[in-house]
């Protein structure tokens, strides 16, 4: 099966019926994936990259979905591939979040030692890579698979980033972390409330208790 041509054909068919949505693309992705006989990770990631090379939003959704479906086959060799995708194919916050909160995040949850590499993204010139340093930790945090990861180091590195989507990204990560370690995030926000941009600050406190929010907002 020529994956790019077939994916585009099904997407065009779906467009004839109604406006194409992420949910519809994911259904197409699932049906296509079932038809692939060789589900070895090498084949799936190769096919996924063929889709990414088209620079199409819909094909990207399929590529990242397929990459997540083979998460049980991830190894340390998967990281250079995913890192190259983040830097070469992701171009906005939507792609970043789709990829980082699923496939890339799952890989990091399985291999916490990759955190040292993730930290390097915080200095990257492209905002989506810097945002990826934060949002790729959301999956490990949610799954409570971050024993050897210090999310606050990423927040420190991105604290006063000049792109609002990066600020929102690490604020989101802090919000998720607060559901696991509320005191840790509360203390962090108290410590940095005078220097942290308000957009990140407000995201970070969103899931804290009413009492903690009041203390942070009044202090």
> In the predicted model, what is the mean pLDDT of the chain?
96
So what's the pLDDT on residue 18?
A: 80
Q: pLDDT exceeding 70 applies to what percent of the chain?
A: 99
So what's the pLDDT on residue 91?
A: 92
- Is residue 4 over pLDDT 80? yes
The sign of the dihedral angle between the CA atoms of 200, 138, 50, 7 is negative
| In contact, 62 and 25? CB cutoff 8 Å | yes
State the pLDDT confidence band at 76, using cuts at 50, 70 and 90: confident
So what's the pLDDT on residue 31?
A: 96
State the pLDDT confidence band at 161, using cuts at 50, 70 and 90: very high
Ramachandran assignment for 124, one of left (phi > 0), alpha (psi -120 to 50 degrees), beta (any other): beta
Domains located in the chain, CATH noted:
1-73 (no CATH), 78-219 (1.25.10.90)
Please state, in angstroms and rounded to a whole number, the distance separating the CA atoms of residues 104 and 60.
Answer: 14
Instruction: Output 218 or 56, whichever has higher pLDDT.
Output: 56
- CB neighbours of residue 58 within 10 Å: 23
So what's the pLDDT on residue 15?
A: 87
Q: What is the pTM of this model?
A: 0.94
The tens digit of pLDDT for each residue in 178-206 reads: 999 999 999 999 999 999 999 999 999 99
| In contact, 69 and 33? CB cutoff 8 Å | yes
Most distant CA atoms of the chain, gap in Å = 61
- Of residues 197, 208, 218, 215, the one with CA closest to residue 175: 208
Structure tokens at 16: 């004839």
So what's the pLDDT on residue 152?
A: 98
| In contact, 186 and 217? CB cutoff 8 Å | no
Ramachandran assignment for 55, one of left (phi > 0), alpha (psi -120 to 50 degrees), beta (any other): left
The tens digit of pLDDT for each residue in 38-65 reads: 999 999 999 999 999 999 999 999 999 9
Average pLDDT (96-107) is: 98
Q: pLDDT exceeding 90 applies to what percent of the chain?
A: 94
Structure tokens at 115: 């955190």
């Amino acid at each position: 099966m020529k994956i790019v041509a077939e994916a585009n054909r099904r997407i065009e068919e779906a467009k004839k019926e109604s406006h194409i949505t992420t949910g519809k693309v994911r259904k197409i992705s699932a049906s296509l994936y079932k038809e692939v006989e060789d589900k070895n990770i090498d084949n799936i990631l190769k096919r996924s990259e063929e889709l990414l090379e088209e620079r199409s939003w819909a094909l990207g959704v399929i590529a990242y979905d397929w990459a997540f479906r083979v998460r049980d086959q991830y190894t340390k060799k998967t990281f250079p591939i995913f890192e190259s995708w983040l830097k070469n194919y992701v171009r906005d916050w939507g792609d970043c979040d789709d990829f980082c909160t699923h496939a890339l995040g799952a890989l990091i949850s399985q291999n916490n030692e990759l955190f040292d590499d993730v930290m390097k993204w915080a200095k990257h010139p492209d905002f989506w890579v810097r945002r990826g340093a934060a949002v790729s930790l959301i999956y490990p945090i949610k799954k409570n698979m971050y024993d050897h990861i210090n999310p606050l180091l990423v927040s420190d590195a991105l604290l006063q980033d000049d792109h609002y989507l990066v600020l929102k990204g690490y604020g989101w990560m802090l919000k998720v972390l607060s559901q696991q370690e509320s005191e840790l995030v509360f203390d962090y926000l108290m410590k940095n409330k005078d220097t942290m941009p308000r957009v990140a600050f407000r995201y970070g406190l969103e899931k804290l208790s009413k009492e903690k929010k009041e203390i942070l907002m009044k202090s």
